[in-house]
Structure 1
Amino acid sequence: MNRREFLISTSLLSLCMGSGLSSAAHASEDEAVIVLGRQESGSAGYDPVRSTSLSMVAGLIYDRLVEQDADDQSYHPHLAESWETSQDGLTWTFKLRQGVTFHDGEPFNAATIAWWIPKFTGTENETMTSAIERVEVVDDHTVRFVMKRPEPNLIYNLASVNMGIPSPKSYEAAGDAGYGVTEAIGTGPYKLESFVASQETVLVANGNYAWGSDLTGNKGVPSLKRLTMREIPDASTAFLELKTGGVDMLLDIPTDFLPQLKAQPEIGFRGLPSYGVTFVAINTQIPIFSDMRVRQATALAIDQGAILKSVYGGAGKEAHQFLISTLAESKVDPTVEIHYNFAKAGKLLDEAGWVPGENGIRVKDGKPLKVKLWARADTEYRRMAEIIQAQLKAVGMAAEITIFDEGMYRAEFKKKDRELVIEPYSWTNANILDDFFSAKNLDGWNLSLWNDPKSEELNERAMHGSATWEERVANFRKYHEYLLANFVGVPIHEPAQTLAFNNTRLNLPAPLRMPFTLVDMTVK
């Protein structure tokens, strides 16, 4: 949203602040209308095997073997009642829940899993199951995965939204073109009634549901019998819909609007756990930043606390490492965390030979300390870029800001003339470090162009050298610490998604877990 759109949005919002929240116009009392957030919009369908962009709606249509709690990233049984792995990590055995049926009446059993896992071969989601050599059916409700190699991160993959299990009969009958659009059949608490891409999805409660996970209080049929999940790209329109009763809940609130909305007693708020990190990637291959002292000075010159306060109004957290704080792999040695230190930044630049020059900009060998700073066109990233520009100038570095829209931003990554890049990501797994800092991704997401033999060795050990989850965590911590110690980027902010809802109509249980909370939610 650009500045003009923001001003219009806040003006529209102000117009509707004088009156109370209207009663939602629903056909019955046991339904709700929910607006999906920016991260959840844009799904082309609900085929979990072939889709590369699935919203949380898929988590209501399909159950998974394992569920993950966003609060602490812990894993919980669901369609798998229990599981165990061999000491060498080469077999996983799952005991499956009995008495589960798909929306089409077909039974869920071990044969379902034996059919399902091979379906990922040749798809864009193949990496989810690529470590599995074969599936062995032990009995009707026990399966064993025989692995090609140890892969402790399989548990994370199995809890991912793409690992929702579809009905084999329905999937095969609908074919590639129809499945996920005209029908989507899982075992989940809701059934798909209709879907219009980029507009809305209508779900109705699964009347036979009786196998909720331990992440829900209600293990049976949802209290709300109908959910309409809408996509409204314009934030001001979405807020007006909430204000006038057209919708009951917004799943994502830009921080710009929070102060005004919090003045409304009829609107309730809940915070969702952090789901990613915004950081500044530093191009380690250009002459200025090939000197680690300059990279370190750049990192220490950026005040995360000031950005948290000025850009986000205190919403979210300061980030001092590259992973979200709820991950065990983020619990690094505190001495390698990156914190603002203005005095030390200046000393490092002095040591590197950059001396104060005219207009406060440092020089070395007659050349000024000037860099390019790239940012997306979104309001928050523009404002962040301006603050970082001022903070860098304070230590004698001139940063020239360039703003790109989403399409151009991605295209520019392929050119290697970038210097500083503000980059947000949404991911709750340590594998994101491989995406952003592995040398094999120099032509892709490795925005820092980081290419270091020891780093590659640590990355390989973290990604593929662990037989158990505990080993994986320890290996990723070492890799994470090495990246931080080499100042390949600057962690800035850990966003927290804010949910707004009509608190005169809806009861939301605590703690808030999405999408599982929608199964527990009731109407007042």
Structure 2
Amino acid sequence: MSFSSSLSRRLLLKSTILLAASTTLAGRGFAQEAASGRLIVAADSEPKNLNPAIVASNGVFFISSKVIEPLAEASFDGKDGLAPRLAVEWQGSEDGLSATFKLREGVTWHDGKPFTSADVAFSALSVWKTLQNLGRLVFAHLETVDTPDAHTAVFRFSKPTPFQLIRNALPVVTSVLPKHVYEGTDIATNPANNKLVGTGPFVFAEYKPGEYYRLTRNEKYWNAGQPKLQEIIYRILPDRAGAGAALEAEEIHLAAFSAVPLADLSRISKVPGIMVIADGYEALTYQLVVEINHRRKELADLKVRQAIAHAIDKKFVVDTIFLGYATASSGPVPKNAPEFYTDEVETYDFDVAKANALLDEAGYKRGEGGNRFSLKLLPAPYFNETKQFGAYLRQALAEVGIDAELVNNDSAAHQKAVYTDHAFDLAIAPPVFRGDPAISTTILVKSGTPAGVGFSNQGGYENKNLDALIDKAAETVNTETRTELYKEFQKKVTEDLPLINVAEWGFITVARDTVQNVASNPRWAVSNWADAELVS
């Protein structure tokens, strides 16, 4: 097979030279890509900012995590579920007012400058604490970072900050940036945000809008013998159906984040040379959630919220919408987070009769045509599954006399309507559980979040007791006590239903069987791929 099919005839027509001048691609075969160590991957988006220290999202990490490294990465077998990266040791103080990191020696930035504790201090104080969407929560009380030597960083906090939280957040919020590149600049608009300079196993080489990103091997990577690959090409394929076709045509090696639609997995798994892999997303659990606008009189009534919960057939959702690639949720912490999860919570079995009875008790009798009241329902547009669930929920609500108007928006309009304008009654969201309830989970129900903050409580729900519990857990240093507080948090959320957790799922990777070491850690798709390799 010629390389004109390997990176697609369309791309070659767009550019006479597809990659850098030093790379000769014309006439190459797919098997030769394995021999040369060039991994070709499907990418379904083009982030406007590739800097993971500013935008801690999976779409950014998918590319940038190969270039920019965190202090530690998730691991199946490492201490505390972590593997060292730029830090080799970490320890929190008993009073929660400091955390000490011993940093790796002999590491250089891709531009040749040495990596030191000054880079960590700069990143923590100037970026994670002030600019990053998740780091603002974790490092809210970070006051200073002492650097007694080039390979020690001591974080000091103005209020007790649980080391359990810091430890769980390390893979997500501690992407380290080069101080010498960013200091004295407008960090948010620095050109290095899209031409990354890191310490990782791959060097950012090239980006061609609408076509591809190219990363090349870091010949001076600190981990001898890695990376195994010579290049990674992210071929931009926004159409999910296109990823499966490209895999079957041997144009790409791998598609992550369920880029191949779930409906195609059964068939494509039978294609010789293709693997369907559900592992490697254990630390990236997505949750299907019904967000509720409590400003609506009807929805402020707990019985109405309970009725909606009883009207949802979670088994149908798992089996039909997710085709079995999900599990039913019991609450705001997923089952695959055993450190915090509890099943001792209020549950709402699928029961249409009970839902109808609760609505009658709440005083919302069926009127002419069987309708009780009408709602505006906005499903998030990010995944097919959230949109499909929106259509299902409309039908489920109709069964209990609630008329839901389905409003489908693009991503920008949806986020504005829900999180800024509050122009919704119910919304479907896919928040991510990132290893600790304090990261992207408690914010979904805690009151007081300003309008405009995405993936937060913008439904007007307020529960002072729940807020107090969340605040107490945020400053509880003892790990056992903090864990118990989050189990109590789950009980309170399921009792009062500020939102409704429906299902939880990880993604699927589909790859050619020539790709080795897929899913080698719980955040594989957004980890550094230093051990990934191709075989002929």
> TM-score scaled by structure 2?
0.81
Q: Provide the identity percentage.
A: 23
Q: Is the 8 A contact 1:421 1:447 kept in 2?
A: no
Report the CA distance shift for 1:112/1:392 in structure 2 as closer, same or farther (over 3 A).
closer
Identify the residue that residue 375 of structure 2 maps to in structure 1.
371
Give the CA deviation at 1:301: 1.4
Is 1:454 the counterpart of 2:465 in the alignment? yes
CA distance in structure 1 between the aligned counterparts of 2:123 and 2:430, rounded to whole angstroms? 33
Identify the residue that residue 443 of structure 1 maps to in structure 2.
451
Q: Is the 8 A contact 2:200 2:528 kept in 1?
A: no
Give the CA deviation at 1:25: 6.5
**SS of 1:61's equivalent?**
coil
Report the CA distance shift for 1:71/1:420 in structure 2 as closer, same or farther (over 3 A).
farther
Give the CA deviation at 1:233: 0.8
CA distance in structure 2 between the aligned counterparts of 1:182 and 1:421, rounded to whole angstroms? 33
**How many residues get paired?**
484
Identify the residue that residue 229 of structure 1 maps to in structure 2.
234
Gaps of 5+ in 2: 1-28
Give the CA deviation at 1:330: 5.1
Give the CA deviation at 1:136: 1.6
Q: Which moved more, 1:23-32 or 1:298-307?
A: 23-32
Which of the residues 402, 407, 414 maps onto 1:402? 407
Which amino acid is 2:451 matched to? D
Residues 272-328 of structure 1, C-alpha deviations (whole Å, 9 max, x = no match): 335221111222332222221121111111011101111111112222212333334
> TM-score scaled by structure 1?
0.82
Residues 250-279 of structure 1, C-alpha deviations (whole Å, 9 max, x = no match): 113322322332231222111133522111
Q: Is the 8 A contact 1:507 1:521 kept in 2?
A: yes
Is 1:519 the counterpart of 2:530 in the alignment? yes
Give the CA deviation at 1:338: 4.1
Identify the residue that residue 132 of structure 1 maps to in structure 2.
142
Report the CA distance shift for 1:356/1:129 in structure 2 as closer, same or farther (over 3 A).
closer
- Counterparts of residues 397-436 of structure 1 (less than 5 Å): 397-413=402-418, 414-416=420-422, 418-428=424-434, 429-431=436-438, 432-436=440-444
Identify the residue that residue 80 of structure 1 maps to in structure 2.
87
CA distance in structure 1 between the aligned counterparts of 2:198 and 2:302, rounded to whole angstroms? 52
CA distance in structure 2 between the aligned counterparts of 1:87 and 1:340, rounded to whole angstroms? 46
Gaps of 5+ in 1: 1-21, 212-218, 362-367
Give the CA deviation at 1:154: 2.7
Q: CA RMSD in A?
A: 3.1
Which amino acid is 1:257 matched to? D
Is 1:392 the counterpart of 2:397 in the alignment? yes
CA distance in structure 1 between the aligned counterparts of 2:143 and 2:111, rounded to whole angstroms? 30
CA distance in structure 1 between the aligned counterparts of 2:484 and 2:191, rounded to whole angstroms? 41
Is 1:496 the counterpart of 2:496 in the alignment? no
Report the CA distance shift for 1:108/1:442 in structure 2 as closer, same or farther (over 3 A).
closer
Report the CA distance shift for 1:116/1:486 in structure 2 as closer, same or farther (over 3 A).
closer
Identify the residue that residue 103 of structure 2 maps to in structure 1.
96
CA distance in structure 2 between the aligned counterparts of 1:523 and 1:27, rounded to whole angstroms? 5
Residues 90-140 of structure 1, C-alpha deviations (whole Å, 9 max, x = no match): 011122222322223333333433444333265355625442211222333
CA distance in structure 1 between the aligned counterparts of 2:370 and 2:142, rounded to whole angstroms? 58
Which of the residues 29, 34, 38 maps onto 1:31? 38
Report the CA distance shift for 1:71/1:85 in structure 2 as closer, same or farther (over 3 A).
closer
**SS of 1:320's equivalent?**
coil
Residues 126-174 of structure 1, C-alpha deviations (whole Å, 9 max, x = no match): 62544221122233322211111122223344322x5222333344599
Report the CA distance shift for 1:108/1:331 in structure 2 as closer, same or farther (over 3 A).
same
Residues 455-477 of structure 1, C-alpha deviations (whole Å, 9 max, x = no match): 22223223x33224444333233
Identify the residue that residue 4 of structure 2 maps to in structure 1.
none
Report the CA distance shift for 1:517/1:52 in structure 2 as closer, same or farther (over 3 A).
closer
Identify the residue that residue 105 of structure 1 maps to in structure 2.
112
- Counterparts of residues 285-296 of structure 1 (less than 5 Å): 285-296=295-306
Report the CA distance shift for 1:370/1:174 in structure 2 as closer, same or farther (over 3 A).
closer
Is 1:307 the counterpart of 2:313 in the alignment? no
CA distance in structure 2 between the aligned counterparts of 1:420 and 1:380, rounded to whole angstroms? 16
- Counterparts of residues 234-249 of structure 1 (less than 5 Å): 234-249=239-254
